[in-house]
Amino acid sequence: MEMIIREMYLNRLIEAKDTEFIKVITGVRRSGKSTLLLMFKDFLLNNKIKESNIIHINFESAIYDDIKNYKDLYNYIKDKITNDKMYILLDEVQNVDKWEKAINSLNIDFNVDIYITGSNAYLLSSELSTLLSGRYIEIKMYPLSFKEFLKFNNYDEINVEDKFYEYLKYGGLPAITLIKDKPDLVMSYLNDIYNTIVKKDIIDRNGIKDITLLENIIKYLSTNIGSSVSSTKISDYLNSNKITYKSNHQTIDNYLNMLEKSFIMYKADRTDIRNKTLLKTLGKYYISDIGIRNIILGFRNIYEGHLLENIVYLELLRRGYKVNIGKTGDYEVDFVAENPNQIVYYQVTKSLDNEDVKFRELRSLESIPDNYEKIILTMDKTINKDYNGIKIINLLDWLLET
């Protein structure tokens, strides 16, 4: 099947090409990192870079099983380097022991342009950051946006609401588009991805012993997407419901950190909008892909409002925003989205038809004491509505913006 170009990510690689920085592509498993490297390789070949000047290694292939540590990696690549500039593309490089030493040495010793991918945040551990001394650029890759989902499925932008419900059901992992007409295969694929993330990127990586506790924490977070979470809340819930009797706050905190590093979960911290300070308690967790959430919980409550929040959170990350939860006095704002040029406040709700809901959503934004843009996203078929400067925008229209 012909690869569909994911322009946003490919363009970021092209913009960074031939800079001094090592390009580090991160993201949850099967979000498209390997395909992105192939796309970039095609770009190089189409721009007259000789194939002999491109070294492309996928460490999930058995072909490279003999490359076990940084010395093996360094020597393998060194033997292939010519006098010309070399482009080094390394996929799932974390499978090589102390790989960062090889990357650092290659970058120093030869005329190379290096691109690496990895499926967990240990790729950018403090050790690596220190070794590379800030000489890398991280490109964060996410599953398909809704707009990409339509493109991958060759859908037009007619009756998009029906297609959005399909997106909410199966999520945005690119391979799903090949099997979406076979529900049993979709469920099997999502289940396999989930199990691989849990086993390889969490259990094996961290030597976890209490696998049952880990799985129950994942189920709790998946059930409580968009709700304030703390290790105390999780522990109290698990203990009071007799799910486990041996959970403690420190262990739960450690497991939460591991889930973030595997990219299966993202944490949004809370910030006090008035004081411009980050609050240390009661953040919220969002899952990297709705399809994975549905396989964890058995496709329950697929159309609930919190999943819309999850979709918006990921889309804001894709658009390059830093995203926090906002607190203003006694009220909460779903998202405070910031980039170097702007701040935008968002509320997300399935519908504003209920007057109490409308009052609550408007009140939170009206309580913000500054003049930055304020938006409510809703599934209502709203066109250009405005309440005292607060924009009401249809969620699907917003997701399909260029």
Angle at 213 between CA 210 and CA 219, to 5 degrees: 145
What are residue 340's phi and psi, to 5 degrees? -60, -15
- Residues whose CB falls within 8 Å of the CB of residue 364, separated by 6 or more in sequence, listed in order: 328, 331, 332, 333, 347
Residue 395 host element (H or E): helix 395-399
Helical residues (DSSP H) of 65-115, grouped into ranges = 70-78, 99-109
What tokens were used for 139?
Answer: 């490109």
Quick one: pLDDT at residue 4? 82
User: Which residues share a beta bridge with 332?
Assistant: 327
The Cα 362–Cα 331 span in angstroms is 11
The Cα 175–Cα 28 span in angstroms is 13
Query: 335: closest CA among 327, 322, 345, 320?
Result: 345
Quick one: pLDDT at residue 58? 96
- DSSP annotation of 2 reads P
Domains in the chain: ranges and CATH: 7-140 (3.40.50.300), 146-399 (no CATH)
The Cα 171–Cα 177 span in angstroms is 10
Pairing label, strands 228-229, 277-287? antiparallel
The Cα 3–Cα 46 span in angstroms is 15
Quick one: pLDDT at residue 76? 98
Contact 217, 252 (CB under 8 A): yes
Quick one: pLDDT at residue 159? 86
Quick one: pLDDT at residue 361? 95
pLDDT digits (tens, 9 = 90+) for 113-169: 999 998 888 777 756 666 676 788 999 999 999 999 999 999 988 889 999 999 999
Instruction: Say what the pTM is.
Output: 0.94
Quick one: pLDDT at residue 126? 56
Give me the residues of the chain with pLDDT under 50, please: 1
> What type of residue is 113?
D
Quick one: pLDDT at residue 128? 63
DSSP 216-264: HHHHHHHHTTTSEE-HHHHHHHHHHTTS-S---HHHHHHHHHHHHHTTS
DSSP 13-46: HHHHTTSSSEEEEE-STTSSHHHHHHHHHHHHHH
Q: How much of the chain is helix, strand and coil, in % rounded to 5?
A: 45, 20, 30
